[in-house]
Amino acid sequence: MAPSYDLHSHSTASDGTLAPAALVQRARSAGVDVLALTDHDTLDGVDEALRSAAALPLTLLPGVEISVTWCAMTIHVLGLGVDPANSDLRQGLGELQTFRDWRAQEIARKLERSGIGGALEGAAQFRKGALLSRTHFARFLVQQGHAASVREVFKRFLVKDKPGYVRGEWTSLAQAVGWIRAAGGLAVIAHPARYRLTRSKLKRLVGAFVDSGGVGLEVVSGSHSVDEMRHMAAVTREHGLCASCGSDYHGPENAWIELGRLRGLPHGCTPIWEADGWPLAGAA
Ligand code: AMP
Ligand code: MN
Ligand code: MN
Ligand code: MN
């Protein structure tokens, strides 16, 4: 049987709720053969995940999901098969961490102004690693009874024009792809349908991404509808890109989809695992 790939997942090193080792074990139990750990802007979970995978029939691909600002929007770029020791990548992620720390203070300050105090300390209670994401703020606001769900917190507090929103100034698309390539990885645009881009804007994004050295689109995502998968498959063919698939798993309580349940790639796509420079070529 063809191996089962899940090339997008999160652990407690960013905003997932399972520790890296627990994530790897759950993925194996769900029948995943190749798992990429792609925490937001950090490689902190990779060592533990690799150690855990070493004892199992599962290949762990070190990865990262980099936050990018493109045309005043936040776009996520996956780096698959990166060398976690690469200094260009590590330094770049360090810069993003500095922005994140500043942004967390700003989010807390803004929430305070709208009557919600103690959010920085409150959100920090929900983190297990170094990184503080909007998801941690959302969990705190739910705990405090300001909303019934994480999803509702985002809608009411954490997105554009809402009281706790702080504009992102992450890194550039070219810079993110550059770090990924420097670290020997392949760059993939994460969940491309989630940005709600017009056709012409999507074309511009993909064009800029290809010019920077990006190689794939996440065609199958836990957050894509079947129509969105078909559309993104057509976009890969049009631009000569490869297709990736990932659940974007964040833990059992907030899954887009459970591990091991991804659909296969639509017909006519070139899978990312057949791309030039695929890090496991000849290995798995
Ligand atoms: P950050 O990188 O700190 O801005 O947080 C982004 C993360 O927040 C995403 O990776 C998702 O896990 C989560 N997120 C973003 N929008 C939503 C939403 N509408 N509902 C639930 N979670 C969301
Ligand atoms: Mn997330
Ligand atoms: Mn994302
Ligand atoms: Mn993700």
Structure confidence at residue 1 as a pLDDT band (50, 70, 90):
confident
Q: How far is the CA of 48 from the centre of ligand 2 (A)?
A: 19
Is pLDDT larger for residue 78 or for residue 280? Answer: 78
Mean pLDDT of 210-236: 97
- Please, which residues bridge with residue 227 across strands? none
Place 220 in a pLDDT band, splitting at 50, 70 and 90.
Answer: very high
Q: How far is the CA of 76 from the centre of ligand 3 (A)?
A: 5
- The two structure tokens encoding residue 225: 């509808």
CB of 22 closer than 6 angstroms to any ligand 1 atom: no
Cut 0.85: pTM above it: yes
Q: Taking 60 as the threshold, does the pLDDT of residue 284 lie above it? A: no
Residue having the nearest C-alpha atom to atom 22 of ligand 1: 151
Question: So what's the pLDDT on residue 168?
Answer: 84
Residues 101 and 124: beta-carbon distance below 8 Å: no
**Residue 81, CA distances (Å) to 59, 64, 126, 229, 275 in order:** 11, 9, 29, 23, 12
Mutate to test the pocket of ligand 1, among 64, 100, 106, 133 (most ligand atoms within 8 A of CB): 133
Confidence (pLDDT) at 99: 97
At 32, is the pLDDT very low, low, confident or very high (cuts 50, 70, 90)?
very high
Compute φ and ψ for 281, nearest 5 degrees: -55, 125
Which atom of ligand 1 sits closest to the CA of residue 155?
Answer: 19
Mean pLDDT over each residue of the chain, to the nearest integer: 96
Give the tens place of pLDDT for each residue, 118-128.
999 999 999 99
Q: Which atom of ligand 1 is nearest to the CA of 136?
A: 3
103 Cα nearest atom in ligand 1: 3
Angle between helices 134-143 and 87-113 (to 10 degrees): 30
**Gap between the Cα atoms of 247 and 167, Å rounded:** 27
The predicted-structure confidence for 38-96, as pLDDT tens digits, reads as follows 999 999 999 999 999 999 999 999 999 999 999 999 999 999 999 999 999 999 999 99
208, two tokens:
């800029």
Cβ proximity of 32 and 57 under 8 Å: no
What is the 3 CA–ligand 4 centroid distance (Å)?
22
Report the share of the chain in percent with pLDDT over 90. Answer: 95
* pLDDT > 70? residue 255: no
Residue 283 has a pLDDT of 67
Tell which residue, 132, 168, 41, 44, has the closest CA to residue 92. Answer: 41
Tens of pLDDT, residues 97-133: 999 999 999 999 999 999 999 999 999 999 999 999 9
